[in-house]
């Protein structure tokens, strides 16, 4: 099944790494990238250039983003009746307990810290694919649209 | 050093309890593993009522949907509406693959939804996957959240 993943990430290096790791794990994945929080919301609300954007099955969200913070993006997603069922996983360099607790309070589905080592980062993305996009049952788009 | 993790499994099938416990112990040998075999008991455990007065707060909850006394959906909504409990990652692990159940569980803020495979080996491998991902990869909220 073709999965659409929305990656909300401003670091070009991490975007590239994530793209490559997903491509290695499953080339069928349709990975869409937005580089700040405002663009993430524009994408999810299908506004402007994103009017024909496919609804993501899964969202990977960095916390520290330009224009609109990842925490705010998360709050918007989880307050929106149409978007809130989309599993949203935080992927960030922060491992501060306050960020972990805040994210789960804002209903992040899961919180992951970005490893510093390249190989560990690749292996984490592979685990995300193996678990969230393979084992986990994601909500069907038709029901929530 | 990681602190010892506490898992609460809410499951009424003794076979599934055994298998899940073994899979989790295989991934992390020092683990507090608690089982509630119906929904009402799960809520008493989480609220530390009655015999559960000294129950530890779980780091992770595994929840079946079809349970005696109180349904898993009800347990899920109790957890996710309680300010003290809602940050605990709650993984639905059930036999149902009905889309309506999947959708409803995410609406009720399940952290993730997994369908139990019918075959023993596949079930074992799924539970191992769940335990590796949630215990080794994911960052769980700390037990003591006073700082936040």
- What is the spatial distance between Cα B7 and Cα A1, in angstroms, rounded to a whole number? 32
pLDDT digits (tens, 9 = 90+) for B119-143: 989 998 999 999 999 999 999 998 7
pLDDT of residue A125: 94
User: Are B129 and A135 within 8 A, CB to CB?
Assistant: yes
CA distances from B132 to A128, B25, B36 (A): 11, 11, 22
Residue A145 has pLDDT above 60, yes or no: no
Q: B135: closest CA among B33, B56, B19?
A: B33
pLDDT of residue B1: 41
Residue B61 has pLDDT above 90, yes or no: yes
pLDDT of residue A143: 42
Residue B90 has pLDDT above 80, yes or no: yes
What pTM, to 2 d.p., does this model score?
0.93
Greater confidence (B3 vs A10) lies with A10
- What is the spatial distance between Cα A91 and Cα B80, in angstroms, rounded to a whole number? 22
Structural domain boundaries in chain A: 4-135
pLDDT bracket for residue B27 (50, 70, 90): confident
Residue A144 has pLDDT above 60, yes or no: no
User: Are B133 and A98 within 8 A, CB to CB?
Assistant: no
Lowest mean pLDDT: which of A82-86, B26-30, B53-57, B101-105? B26-30
Question: Considering only CB atoms, which chain B residues are within 8 Å of A58?
Answer: none
User: Are A139 and B112 within 8 A, CB to CB?
Assistant: no
Question: Is this complex scored with an ipTM above 0.95?
Answer: no
Going by DSSP bridges, is the β-strand pair A4-8/A58-61 parallel, antiparallel, or unpaired?
parallel
**What's the mean pLDDT in A93-119?**
95
Buried-exposed string A108-143: b where 16+ CB fall within 10 A, e elsewhere? bbbbbbbeeeeeebbebbebbbebbbebbbbbeeee
User: Are B87 and A109 within 8 A, CB to CB?
Assistant: no
**What's the mean pLDDT in B41-49?**
96
Average model confidence (pLDDT) across chain B: 91
pLDDT of residue B87: 96
- Homologous superfamily of domain range A4-135: Response regulator (3.40.50.2300)
What percent of chain B is modeled with pLDDT above 70? 95
Separation in Å, CA of B48 to nearest CA in chain A: 21
């Amino acid at each position: 099944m073709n999965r659409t993943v929305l990656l909300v990430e401003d670091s070009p290096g991490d975007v590239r790494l994530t793209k490559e790791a997903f491509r290695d794990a499953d080339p069928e994945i349709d990975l869409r990238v937005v580089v700040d929080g405002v663009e993430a919301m524009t994408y999810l609300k299908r506004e402007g250039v994103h009017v024909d954007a496919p609804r993501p099955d899964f969202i990977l969200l960095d916390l520290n983003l330009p224009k609109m913070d990842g925490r705010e993006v998360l709050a918007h997603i989880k307050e929106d009746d149409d978007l809130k069922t989309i599993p949203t996983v935080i992927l960030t360099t922060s491992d501060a307990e306050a960020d972990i607790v805040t994210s789960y309070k804002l209903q992040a589905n899961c919180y992951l810290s970005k490893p510093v080592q390249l190989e560990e980062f690749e292996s984490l993305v592979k685990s995300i694919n193996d678990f969230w996009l393979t084992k986990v049952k994601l909500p069907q788009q038709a029901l929530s649209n | 050093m990681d602190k010892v993790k506490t898992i609460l499994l809410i499951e009424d099938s003794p076979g599934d309890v055994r298998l899940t416990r073994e899979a989790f112990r295989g991934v992390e040998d020092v683990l507090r593993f608690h089982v509630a075999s119906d929904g009402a008991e799960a809520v008493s455990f989480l609220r530390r009522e009655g015999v559960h007065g000294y129950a530890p707060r779980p780091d992770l909850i595994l929840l079946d949907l079809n349970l005696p006394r109180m349904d898993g959906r009800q347990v899920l909504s109790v957890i996710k509406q309680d300010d003290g409990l809602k940050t605990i990652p709650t993984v639905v692990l059930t036999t149902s693959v009905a889309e309506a159940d999947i959708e409803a569980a995410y609406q009720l803020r399940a952290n993730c939804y997994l369908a139990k495979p019918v075959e023993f080996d596949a079930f074992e491998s799924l539970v191992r996957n769940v335990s590796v991902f949630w215990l080794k990869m994911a960052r769980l909220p700390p037990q003591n959240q006073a700082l936040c």
